[in-house]
Amino acid sequence: MDADIDRILWTASEISDRVSSLASEINRDFKEKGCDLVVVGVATGAFMFLADLVRAIEIPVAVDFVRVESYGSGTESNGMPRISSDLKVDVSGKHVIVVEDIVDTGNTLSCLISYLKSKGACSVSVCTFLDKPARRRVHFELVGEGKIYRGFECPDYFVVGYGMDFAELYRNLPYVGVLKPEMHT
């Protein structure tokens, strides 16, 4: 698999350091609130990031996953996200942190924030491992005292590793790398 990678953007060590820093911010921000906190991972790309993040969170936290589909068989979003697997945890009256692997267009996140608001979440924050602002098409509004936690700002490359895939491959790479164009075009 390493031969399919053009270059590494973030090493396992850099990722670990940044995840610890994000967890520290969350600990600080939510410890003072003394509230019920639910972390909602957007499956399946965020599973590694979510696992590492919640292990470093020192306050009580419930964890759930939601599946939001916006990709067909290619590498471009169809722009029409839909929730295909719902939450099991009741988020009504709770503070929610949506954990994403990557935010690019903002379509999926906008849909998910609206959905969580409709479920009664008192605040919705976002913790994204990678942020690709160059691809943003939709501005999303956070709920309540929501906040955005960003891991790394990602250039507009097709990246894989640390849970992110192409055709369900490369998720198990311990780093984030740029997939060679011939592998995905």
In this structure, is residue 49 part of a structural domain? Answer: yes
Strands 37-43 and 95-103: parallel
Cα separation, 171 vs 159, in Å, equals 10
CATH of residue 109: 3.40.50.2020
- Could you tell me the residue range of the domain that residue 129 belongs to? 12-157
Q: Is the pLDDT of residue 76 over 60?
A: no
In this structure, is residue 41 part of a structural domain? Answer: yes
In this structure, is residue 91 part of a structural domain? Answer: yes
In this structure, is residue 170 part of a structural domain? Answer: no
- Compute the Cα dihedral for 101, 106, 109, 111 and give only its sign: negative
pLDDT for 113-144, tens place per residue?
999 999 999 999 999 999 999 889 988 888 88
In this structure, is residue 175 part of a structural domain? Answer: no
Helix axes 47-56, 12-31, angle to 10 degrees: 50
Catalytic-labelled residue, pool 36, 101, 104, 131: 104
Q: Which residue has the tokens 């490369």?
A: 170
Evaluate whether 150 touches 123 at the Cβ level (below 8 Å).
no
Question: How many domains would you assign to the chain?
Answer: 1
What is the structure's pLDDT at 142?
87
What is the structure's pLDDT at 71?
56
pTM of the shown model: 0.91
In this structure, is residue 43 part of a structural domain? Answer: yes
Identify whether 4 is a catalytic site residue. no
What is the structure's pLDDT at 74?
52
* Lowest-pLDDT choice from 61-70, 147-156, 170-179: 61-70
pLDDT higher at 162 or 134 = 162
In this structure, is residue 54 part of a structural domain? Answer: yes
Q: Return the percentage of the chain with pLDDT > 70, whole number.
A: 95
In this structure, is residue 166 part of a structural domain? Answer: no
